[in-house]
């Protein structure tokens, strides 16, 4: 069968290679919005996480981990109980539930739906006489639907699974303030599961009911936001900023402008916020995403979450799902700490400016990554088919296998033994090597190409004479000959992220 360069080939690769399986549990038919990762998917995810962790520790961020279940009062204080809601349409006859905004966007592709109010949505439904897609009954009212998953703890006390990691990080403010010895900004991140009871989850791992977040927080003073030290070193970086006005002019892909221009022309209000956009961009680029697939899109005032003063999404262009948000950068102001201070009766105002005796509640700037969305978009944008060769062009340091080792033939015992020795040598150096002797050499290369393995080592007859092997590079398919004892050093050189610049 011919291997076509299309989305079906990609989707079947995700399953066949062990990246993404589901909906889970597959053997029972699957529950919408839940997926599993296979060994290749988990290896990729862990490589992304360890890269992020390493970069963030180098940038002065500490890591925390909090419970995924929190009592009701937390979500009252955070505003999620009252305001973390989606508009839904319920058919009065067949009881089909639809997410109103998604339904309208599908039915009225030329109308701007993002950010319009529930009332305006109802008006559109009436105007266009929209009906239930299942039974054709006219649809009438929009209802509010809270996205949090509810549970009970112990003796029936109500609790919720967290809809974001961020709020659980904020609850640690007093502790963080202490360990940071009252130096600001406090930089901290949390990785972990969050849960949202999506009405009709679609788009595979892009909209799951249980998903992974990686959220960075800066606790910062009001003055410091406007006079932010790191801004000076990053202000000449150019970013593709699609502000709200450009969207009204129907621009899809903006020209890049420097952060300094964005601040001067008031597209961005705060230098510290500009730094957060930079950080989101930096962490995305280091994964291997290129500018051709990226843009920052500003939320309209209506589209913003209840806590946000300014919000931009970092989006990746995909073939299957259009522009996909992988990161949201939010100016949450002092909203969260103010509310948690009120509800917990704790004092969160601190002296943030050494030159002033005045106390203030810290502002919060947030950079929120969706790890599952990163994995999906990374896989899709790395996927290529060239002359029927599937090649997953992942960065060498992200690919599930770092290297694969093949004996040229399997029936010559000396070659096989030497190949196993090379494989062992690499594993002893903690280079993740995959040994494969099954099938033709061409098929073995193909199998690694579609997993994104950058280097394949083949042991042949010549190896028995002079202790050299060939190393084949994935994208160029060029081969070099190298002595066995030099392989670990050569490979480690390729896997190091060196002086990454954007
Ligand atoms: Zn119906």
Ligand 1 centroid, distance to 131 Cα (angstroms):
8
CB under 8 Å to 201, separation ≥6 — which residues?
32, 33, 207, 208, 209
Confirm whether 168 is domain-assigned. Answer: yes
**The pLDDT value given to residue 83:** 87
36-57 CB burial, b ≥16 within 10 A, e <16: ebbebbebbbebbeebbeebbe
Count the domains in the chain: 3
Ligand 1 centroid, distance to 93 Cα (angstroms):
5
Confirm whether 68 is domain-assigned. Answer: yes
Q: Which of 20, 182, 185, 149 is nearest to 72 (CA)?
A: 149
Write phi, then psi, for 389 (nearest 5 degrees): -100, 120
Ligand 1 centroid, distance to 123 Cα (angstroms):
19
**The pLDDT value given to residue 10:** 97
Confirm whether 64 is domain-assigned. Answer: yes
Domain end, chosen from 114, 146, 178, is at 146
Are residue 374 and residue 481 in the same domain, yes or no? no
Domain end, chosen from 115, 146, 177, is at 146
Place of tokens 């949450």: 332
Ligand 1 centroid, distance to 29 Cα (angstroms):
24
Render pLDDT for 69-96 as a digit per residue (tens, 0 to 9). 999 999 999 999 998 888 899 888 888 8
Ligand 1 centroid, distance to 128 Cα (angstroms):
17
Are residue 460 and residue 328 in the same domain, yes or no? no
Domain end, chosen from 94, 122, 146, is at 146
Query: Which helix H or strand E contains 230, and what residues bound it?
Result: none
Confirm whether 392 is domain-assigned. Answer: no
Confirm whether 501 is domain-assigned. Answer: no
CATH number for 31: 3.30.930.10
Are residue 260 and residue 298 in the same domain, yes or no? yes
Ligand 1 centroid, distance to 207 Cα (angstroms):
24
Are residue 276 and residue 321 in the same domain, yes or no? yes
Ligand 1 centroid, distance to 487 Cα (angstroms):
64
Ligand 1 centroid, distance to 191 Cα (angstroms):
40
Are residue 212 and residue 95 in the same domain, yes or no? no
Are residue 217 and residue 103 in the same domain, yes or no? no
Give dist(CA 402, CA 474) in Å, integer: 11
Are residue 208 and residue 283 in the same domain, yes or no? yes
Ligand 1 centroid, distance to 193 Cα (angstroms):
34
Range of the domain at 297: 7-79+148-383
Are residue 156 and residue 141 in the same domain, yes or no? no
CATH number for 410: 3.40.50.800
Are residue 356 and residue 452 in the same domain, yes or no? no
Ligand 1 centroid, distance to 180 Cα (angstroms):
56
**The pLDDT value given to residue 307:** 73
Give dist(CA 293, CA 381) in Å, integer: 8
CB under 8 Å to 123, separation ≥6 — which residues?
none
Give dist(CA 352, CA 371) in Å, integer: 33
Ligand 1 centroid, distance to 91 Cα (angstroms):
5
Ligand 1 centroid, distance to 89 Cα (angstroms):
10
Give dist(CA 349, CA 347) in Å, integer: 6
**The pLDDT value given to residue 248:** 86
Ligand 1 centroid, distance to 340 Cα (angstroms):
42
Alpha helices in 202-316 (DSSP H): 222-226, 231-234, 244-248, 259-264, 271-285
Confirm whether 427 is domain-assigned. Answer: yes
Render pLDDT for 414-435 as a digit per residue (tens, 0 to 9). 999 999 999 999 999 999 999 9
**The pLDDT value given to residue 119:** 87
Are residue 302 and residue 412 in the same domain, yes or no? no
Are residue 260 and residue 353 in the same domain, yes or no? yes
**The pLDDT value given to residue 499:** 64
Ligand 1 centroid, distance to 303 Cα (angstroms):
28
Are residue 341 and residue 434 in the same domain, yes or no? no
Confirm whether 500 is domain-assigned. Answer: no
Q: Which residues of the chain have pLDDT under 70?
A: 499
Give dist(CA 225, CA 275) in Å, integer: 10
Give dist(CA 468, CA 38) in Å, integer: 34
Ligand 1 centroid, distance to 10 Cα (angstroms):
34
For the entire predicted model, the pTM comes to 0.92
**The pLDDT value given to residue 327:** 98
Residues 96, 102, 108, 114, CA torsion sign: positive
Ligand 1 centroid, distance to 206 Cα (angstroms):
27
**The pLDDT value given to residue 448:** 98
Ligand 1 centroid, distance to 138 Cα (angstroms):
8
Ligand 1 ion: residues within 5 Å (CB): 91, 93-94, 96, 132, 134-135, 137
């Amino acid at each position: 069968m011919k291997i076509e360069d299309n989305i079906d080939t990609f989707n079947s690769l995700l399953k066949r290679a062990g990246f993404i399986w589901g909906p889970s549990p597959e053997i029972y038919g699957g529950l919408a919005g839940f997926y599993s990762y296979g060994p290749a998917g988990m290896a990729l995810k862990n490589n992304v996480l360890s890269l992020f962790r390493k970069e963030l520790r180098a940038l002065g961020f500490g890591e925390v981990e909090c419970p995924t279940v929190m009592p009701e009062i937390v979500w009252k204080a955070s505003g999620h109980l009252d305001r973390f809601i989606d508009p839904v349409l319920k058919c009065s006859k067949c009881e089909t539930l639809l997410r109103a905004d998604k339904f309208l966007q599908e039915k009225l592709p030329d109308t701007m739906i993002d950010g319009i109010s529930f009332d305006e949505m109802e008006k559109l439904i009436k105007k266009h006489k929209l009906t239930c897609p299942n039974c054709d009954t006219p649809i009438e009212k929009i209802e509010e639907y809270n996205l949090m998953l509810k549970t009970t703890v112990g003796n029936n006390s109500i609790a919720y699974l967290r809809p974001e990691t961020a709020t659980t990080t904020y609850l640690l403010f007093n502790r963080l303030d202490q360990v940071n010895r009252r130096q600001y900004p406090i930089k901290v991140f949390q990785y972990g599961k969050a849960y949202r009871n999506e009405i009709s989850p679609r788009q595979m791992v892009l909209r799951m009911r249980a998903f992974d977040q990686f959220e960075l927080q800066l606790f910062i003073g009001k003055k410091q936001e406007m006079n932010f030290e790191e801004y000076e070193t990053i202000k000449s970086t150019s970013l593709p900023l699609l502000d709200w006005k450009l969207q009204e002019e129907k621009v899809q892909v903006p020209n890049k402008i420097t952060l300094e221009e964005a601040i001067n022309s008031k597209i961005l209000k705060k230098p510290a916020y500009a730094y957060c956009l930079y950080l989101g961009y930096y962490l995305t680029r280091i994964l291997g995403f290129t500018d051709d697939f990226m843009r920052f899109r500003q939320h309209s005032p209506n589209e913003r979450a209840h806590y946000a003063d300014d919000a931009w999404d970092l989006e990746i262009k995909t073939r299957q799902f259009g522009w996909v948000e992988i990161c949201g950068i939010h100016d949450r102001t002092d909203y969260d700490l103010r509310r948690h201070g009120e509800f917990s009766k704790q004092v969160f105002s601190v002296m943030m400016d050494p030159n002033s005796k005045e106390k203030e509640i810290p502002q919060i700037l947030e950079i929120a990554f969706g790890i599952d969305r990163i994995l999906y978009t990374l896989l899709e944008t790395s996927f290529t088919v060239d002359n029927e060769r599937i090649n997953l062009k992942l960065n060498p340091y992200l690919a599930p296998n770092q290297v694969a080792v093949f004996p040229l033939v399997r029936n010559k015992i000396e070659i096989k033994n030497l190949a196993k020795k090379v494989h062992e040598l690499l594993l002893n150096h903690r280079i993740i090597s995959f040994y494969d002797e099954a099938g033709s050499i061409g098929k073995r290369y193909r199998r690694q190409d579609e997993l994104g393995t950058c280097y394949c080592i083949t042991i042949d007859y010549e190896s028995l004479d002079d202790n050299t092997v060939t190393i084949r590079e994935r994208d160029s398919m060029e081969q070099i000959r190298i002595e066995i004892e030099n392989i670990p050093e050569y490979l480690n050189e390729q896997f190091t992220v060196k002086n990454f610049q954007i």
